[in-house]
């Protein structure tokens, strides 16, 4: 800030840098060291000089005078000579109960800047809003204790700081902490009429800090504060829907952490009420439908009801339709729909869902206004979608994008962020796909390191540790370096025992354990016992009714193959019969004919293997039945919808309509 070298001071990022310096220097009581106050005040003064604005007018000049007026109380010599008349005038006006700007004018300007930022205008408005609110709340002559406006200004300052943290890649943690502090102070000073609003703001600030730190105490407090805000707000007030939607999001997150079903059911109930109560013109409509979609998706993961997943996608589409006029919200809402479509693809195999998921993710990145850490989450999920498509259609470009996006997302995630484990795991799986495609051992080595990082990042969360530990076991069993197979078996076994017997994810952990046991057969002391243990793990997985049909089918078919290889035709036939029965459940009419054919293509040998097993087991009549049943899955679906001839003769019009429906479904 040397005299005559002010060219860089007029840039739009300068106020933001000043605010960051001020924020980082604040102590627990909100005070700022004198040298920092002087530096920031001088920055605004030099910026005003560099701008060429009149000597008695300009926003930067106003900031400088306001700061130097406070500084003059303890260090009058720090005030630049040209500003001393203005500072003296401001001091006299404040002493007389007046100011350069009336407090109401200053607060109104601050609210205008905040509303502009929330509506999607450039982030610089947030810096201006924060500076104006601070000018008000830090000068007790403007807003003394007991002034009703003080609580509102503190609450709005907390909101502005939170919004800036959500858009800031570095340094946002200080804003989050200050947002929680001033929101608490607003609640302590607020009266009964506005208490619900101050509770709601504190709830959201605590939830934001949880997203940055993963501190469960913040999450629990946010839920309690949200419940209090909801209880003291009449259901017919628009603010009720706001509190209900925010609380539902927190309950869903707590379910993700602890797996408590009542939290999830309440999240679905509240989010649906909030979404339906929000009129079309309300800017919050999009986020509320998005919250509902997330809650429904989480319940699908818990209970595997197809209706929940379809309803989640429908809610996600309604959220996207409502967000067109809100560029600041477009990216996260579009990304959320993309994630839902990817989930539906993973369960039903509809390729159109996968293609749309990738398209939605790209649209979200292109829309901008994503902010951190949301951009890292978006890149990680989009990279995961590209990996799924690579595994399906083997386009190398998908693999390139999967690697680059998951790498960027993992690198951008701090060590204390709750999403660190999932992002490093996504990178590990992308690297594993790259190894399987190229056979370059460097990819496998990097995948193992990324997988270990994911496990270390989960902490005491056994639900997530189980998933990432199982992945590491597969990677180690693939490498087969000295000691790898023993470690892989131990890791895969631990991954299974961490889950309850009815946990849907237990099936895929059992499948992975069985595969690791088979990889270790050449080094086992009792090869037959290891093969039998693998068969039993496959059978256990196929019998888990809470698991995904695709996983159960894979486990049943592999159990049959394993028993057949050992010449145990009784066990082989039992497993193959289970697999054929599951084959009929694999291909839902919810997906297109082409996607059903693609899913069945992974099991083209099942009917023949099952029939052969029946013949070797001395049951030729069952062989014929299994062969026809396994080959005629799609044909049987068509026949199920063909009207009965007697019914068609008696009710030809209804039979014709049923035939039309059958054709449309096919």
Q: What is the pLDDT of residues 206-221, one digit of tens each?
A: 999 998 888 999 999 9
Domain that holds residue 576: 569-665
Residue 610 lies in a domain: yes
Interatomic CA distance for residues 614 and 386, integer angstroms: 41
Q: Which of 36-50, 275-289, 369-383 has the lowest mean pLDDT?
A: 369-383
Reported as a pLDDT band with limits 50, 70 and 90, residue 117 is confident
Residue 350 lies in a domain: no
The residue out of 285, 317, 332 marking a domain boundary is 332
Q: Specify whether 260 is located in the same domain as 125.
A: yes
Reported as a pLDDT band with limits 50, 70 and 90, residue 131 is confident
Interatomic CA distance for residues 209 and 158, integer angstroms: 12
**Residue 164 reports pLDDT greater than 90:** no
**Residue 645 reports pLDDT greater than 90:** no
Q: Specify whether 25 is located in the same domain as 81.
A: yes
Interatomic CA distance for residues 656 and 251, integer angstroms: 48
Q: Torsions phi, psi of 287, nearest 5?
A: -65, -30
The pTM score is: 0.62
Contact 66, 100 (CB under 8 A): yes
Residue 263 lies in a domain: yes
The residue out of 332, 354, 388 marking a domain boundary is 332
Reported as a pLDDT band with limits 50, 70 and 90, residue 554 is very high
**Residue 166 reports pLDDT greater than 70:** yes
Q: Specify whether 169 is located in the same domain as 89.
A: no
- CATH number, domain at 151? 1.25.40.10
Contact 503, 546 (CB under 8 A): yes
**Residue 543 reports pLDDT greater than 50:** yes
Residue 73 lies in a domain: yes
Residue 490 lies in a domain: no
Q: Specify whether 153 is located in the same domain as 293.
A: yes
- Within 168-284, strands assigned E span none
pLDDT at site 154: 92
Residue 352 lies in a domain: no
Q: Specify whether 169 is located in the same domain as 91.
A: no
For 534, the enclosing helix (H) or strand (E) is helix 527-542
**Overall average pLDDT of the 627-647 stretch:** 66
State what percent of residues in the chain have pLDDT above 90: 42
Count of the separate structural domains present in the chain: 3
Residue 311 lies in a domain: yes
Which of 186-200, 552-566, 610-624 tops mean pLDDT? Answer: 552-566
Q: Specify whether 154 is located in the same domain as 285.
A: yes
Token reading at 665: 């479904």
Interatomic CA distance for residues 589 and 116, integer angstroms: 47
Give Cβ neighbours of residue 417 (< 8 Å, ≥ 6 apart): 212, 214, 373
**Residue 576 reports pLDDT greater than 70:** yes
**The dihedral formed by the CA atoms of 69, 70, 73 and 77, expressed in degrees to the nearest 10:** -60
Separation of CA 551 from chain center: 25
CA angle, 466 then 389 then 450, to 5° = 40
**Number of C-alpha atoms within 13 angstroms, CB side, residue 415?**
2
DSSP state of 556: H
Q: Specify whether 81 is located in the same domain as 224.
A: no
Separation of CA 218 from chain center: 18
Residue 475 lies in a domain: no
pLDDT at site 524: 62
Q: Specify whether 75 is located in the same domain as 120.
A: no
Q: Specify whether 221 is located in the same domain as 264.
A: yes
**Overall average pLDDT of the 96-120 stretch:** 72
Which of residues 178 and 106 earns the better pLDDT score?
178
Contact 285, 278 (CB under 8 A): yes
The residue out of 34, 67, 96 marking a domain boundary is 96
**Residue 666 reports pLDDT greater than 60:** no
Token reading at 592: 């297109």
Q: Specify whether 126 is located in the same domain as 37.
A: no
**Residue 664 reports pLDDT greater than 60:** no
Which of 279-288, 292-301, 335-344, 440-449 tops mean pLDDT? Answer: 440-449
Q: Specify whether 65 is located in the same domain as 195.
A: no
- Nearest alpha-carbon partner for 351 in 594, 664, 663: 594
Reported as a pLDDT band with limits 50, 70 and 90, residue 128 is confident
Q: Specify whether 161 is located in the same domain as 78.
A: no
């Amino acid at each position: 800030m040397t005299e005559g070298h002010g060219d860089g001071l007029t840039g739009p990022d300068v106020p933001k840098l000043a605010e960051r310096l001020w924020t980082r220097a604040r102590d627990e009581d909100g005070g700022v060291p004198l040298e920092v106050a002087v530096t920031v005040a001088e920055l605004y003064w030099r910026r005003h000089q560099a701008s060429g604005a009149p000597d008695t007018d300009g926003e930067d000049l106003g900031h400088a005078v306001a700061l130097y007026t406070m500084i003059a109380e303890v260090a009058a010599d720090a005030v630049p000579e040209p500003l001393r008349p203005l500072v003296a005038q401001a001091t006299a006006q404040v002493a007389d109960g007046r100011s350069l700007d009336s407090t109401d004018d200053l607060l109104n300007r601050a609210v205008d800047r905040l509303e502009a930022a929330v509506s999607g205008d450039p982030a610089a408005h947030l810096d201006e809003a924060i500076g104006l609110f601070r000018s008000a709340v830090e000068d007790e002559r403007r807003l003394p204790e007991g002034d009703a406006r003080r609580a509102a200004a503190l609450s709005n300052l907390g909101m502005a700081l939170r919004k800036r943290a959500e858009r800031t890649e570095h340094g946002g943690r200080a804003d989050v902490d200050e947002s929680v502090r001033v929101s608490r102070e607003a609640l302590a000073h607020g009266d009964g009429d506005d208490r619900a609003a101050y509770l709601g703001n504190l709830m959201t600030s605590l939830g934001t800090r949880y997203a940055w730190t993963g501190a469960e105490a913040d999450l629990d407090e946010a839920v309690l504060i949200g419940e209090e805000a909801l209880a003291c707000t009449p259901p017919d007030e628009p603010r009720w829907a706001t509190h209900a939607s925010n609380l539902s999001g927190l309950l869903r997150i707590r379910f993700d952490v602890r797996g408590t079903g009542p939290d999830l059911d309440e999240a679905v109930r509240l989010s649906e009420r909030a979404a339906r109560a929000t009129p079309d013109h309300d800017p919050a409509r999009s986020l509320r439908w998005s919250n509902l979609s997330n809650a429904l998706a989480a319940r699908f993961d818990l209970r595997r009801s197809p209706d929940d997943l379809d309803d989640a996608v429908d809610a996600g589409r309604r959220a996207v339709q409502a967000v067109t006029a809100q560029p600041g919200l477009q990216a996260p809402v579009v990304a959320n729909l993309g994630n839902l479509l990817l989930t539906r693809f993973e369960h039903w195999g509809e390729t159109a869902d996968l293609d749309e998921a990738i398209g939605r993710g790209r649209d979200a990145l292109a829309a901008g206004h994503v902010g951190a850490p949301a951009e890292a989450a978006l890149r990680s999920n989009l990279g995961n979608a590209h990996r799924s498509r690579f595994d399906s259609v083997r386009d190398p470009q998908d693999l390139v994008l999967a690697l680059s996006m998951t790498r960027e997302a993992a690198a951008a995630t701090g060590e204390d962020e709750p999403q660190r484990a999932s992002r490093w795991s996504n990178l590990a799986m992308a690297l594993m796909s790259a190894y399987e495609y190229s056979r370059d051992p460097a990819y496998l080595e990097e995948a193992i390191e990324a997988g270990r990082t994911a496990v270390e990042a989960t902490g005491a969360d056994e639900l997530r540790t189980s998933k990432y530990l199982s992945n590491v076991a597969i990677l180690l069993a693939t490498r087969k370096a000295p000691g790898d197979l023993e470690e892989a078996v131990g890791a895969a076994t631990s991954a299974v025992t961490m889950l309850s017997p009815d946990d849907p994810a237990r099936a895929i952990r059992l499948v992975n354990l069985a595969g690791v046991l088979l990889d270790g057969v050449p080094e086992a002391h009792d090869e037959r016992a290891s093969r039998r243990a693998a068969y039993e793990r496959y059978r256990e997985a196929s019998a888990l009714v809470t698991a995904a049909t695709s996983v159960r089918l894979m486990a049943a078919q592999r159990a049959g193959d394993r028993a057949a290889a050992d010449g145990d035709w009784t066990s082989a036939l039992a497993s193959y019969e289970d697999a054929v029965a599951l084959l009929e459940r694999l291909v839902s009419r919810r997906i297109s004919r082409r996607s059903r054919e693609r899913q069945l293509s992974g099991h083209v040998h099942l009917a023949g293997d099952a029939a052969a097993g029946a013949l070797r087991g001395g049951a030729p009549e069952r062989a014929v039945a299994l062969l026809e049943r396994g080959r005629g899955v799609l044909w049987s679906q068509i026949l199920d919808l063909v009207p009965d001839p007697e019914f068609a003769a008696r009710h030809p019009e209804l039979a014709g309509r049923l035939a039309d429906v059958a054709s449309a479904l096919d």
